[in-house]
Amino acid sequence: MEKKKKIRIAGVVAAVLFIAVAAAGSLSRSDSVRKLYQEPRVAVIRVNGPIVGGDDADMAWGSPSSTTSGALMRQFRKARQDDSVQAVLLRVNSPGGSAAATQEAAAELQKLKDSGKPVVVSMGDTAASGAYWLAAYGDKIYANPSTITGSIGVYMSYYDVQGLSEKLGVREEKIKSGPHKDIFSPFRPMTEEERRLTQNMVDDMYEQFVAVVAEQRHMDGETVRSLADGRVFTGVQAKEAGLVDELGNYYDALGYAGTLIHADPDKVATVTYDDAFSWDQLLSGRITAPSLAEGLYEAGQRIPFPLIIWKGGRQQ
């Protein structure tokens, strides 16, 4: 009985401590407290791995290998609403991803820019295809000399296993409401009309991509189109083509962002809006009990399709 009593007491103490820390963290991020701390800061937002649709709550207890549009939109929104943030550094290390996911994240990024906060982009190993779509919104883009970027293009893929299924004696039977309902069926060849319909979709998204790059980079549409055949560029080549502005690493980009908020380039105050849970975030007030609960109970990640992604040295 004495042991059980001690366990109950320990449980109560742990629960009270958890609530107290969470409440303190929430208070430290409240508007009233933030007003007492007005040092200008740069919000650092990272795009790591493929850009996929949906939310990242299902990744809350691990290291995500991709970036969701939901996480990006939340961070862009927080940076826009945070009065202490006067500039944003977008760190990109991604081959691209879902066209729709990239586009909805970009829409929130545009709202951030419209609020008057400049966006500086730092490219890592790769910032290609859909990742370049996002990077193009930067007021100034930094790339390393060997960064892989560009790959401006769109693709939609499907598998054709008809030959294999015939060898295995497997046949698909279906009842459909219209002739194109199974347009991407792997058990039959695509008709010429279906190929034309699909190509029209890809071409439409491609033109949207070109329009974004032309507008954000202040380039002529035909000039962008001449570069937008799916090829990739090194950072040096991209600078020569007008797709990036400067050659430099993360700290060069951060230092420049610091000058925009009149800070010492070597001592720039930063803030991040991490969605993944860690005890450091809890103790520092960067995550609260409600957001933790939300991360534990929400799940769902959609498959990116169609894609604007560069992979394995070739446009996919």
Q: Range with the lowest mean pLDDT among 41-45, 166-170, 311-315?
A: 311-315
Measured distance CA(49)–CA(224) in Å, rounded: 25
Distance CA 302, CA 264 (A): 42
**Which pLDDT band holds residue 130 (cuts at 50, 70, 90)?**
very high
Place of tokens 């295995």: 168
Rounded average pLDDT over 281-299: 45
Mean pLDDT across 288-302 = 41
Position 185 scores a pLDDT of: 77
**pLDDT over 90, % of the chain:** 55
Residues constituting the chain:
316
Read off the pLDDT band of 23 (50, 70, 90). low
Res. 188 pLDDT band, cuts 50 70 90:
confident
Question: Which residue is listed with tokens 């290390």?
Answer: 93
19-24: average pLDDT: 54
Which residue would you say has higher pLDDT here, 168 or 19?
Answer: 168
Asked if pLDDT for residue 169 goes beyond 60, the answer is yes
Q: What is the pLDDT of residues 44-87, one digit of tens each?
A: 999 999 999 987 654 444 445 889 999 999 999 999 999 999 99
Whole-number pLDDT of residue 167:
80
3-state secondary structure the chain: CHHHHHHHHHHHHHHHHHHHHHHHHHHHCCHHHHCCCCCCEEEEEEEECCEECECCHHHCCCCCCCEEHHHHHHHHHHHHHCCCEEEEEEEEEECEEEHHHHHHHHHHHHHHHHCCCCEEEEEEEEEECHHHHHHCCCCEEEECCCCEEECCCCECCCCCCHHHHHHHCCCCCCCCCCCCCCCCCCCCCCCHHHHHHHHHHHHHHHHHHHHHHHHHHCCCHHHHHHHCCCCEECHHHHHHHCCCCEECCHHHHHHHHHHHCCCCCCCCCEECCCCCCCHHHHHHCCCCHHHHHHHHHCCCECCCCCEEEEECCEEC
Q: What is the predicted pLDDT for the residue at 3?
A: 55
pLDDT for 1 equals 56
Q: What percent of the chain has pLDDT over 70?
A: 72
Average pLDDT score over residue span 27-47? 68
Reply yes or no on whether the pLDDT at 32 is more than 60: no
Residue 269 has pLDDT above 80, yes or no: yes
Domain 23-152+221-315 has CATH 2.60.40.10: no
Active site residues: 129, 181
| Tokens encoding 256 | 């420049």
C-alpha span between 243 and 311 (Å, rounded): 20
Name the token pair of 213. 């790059």
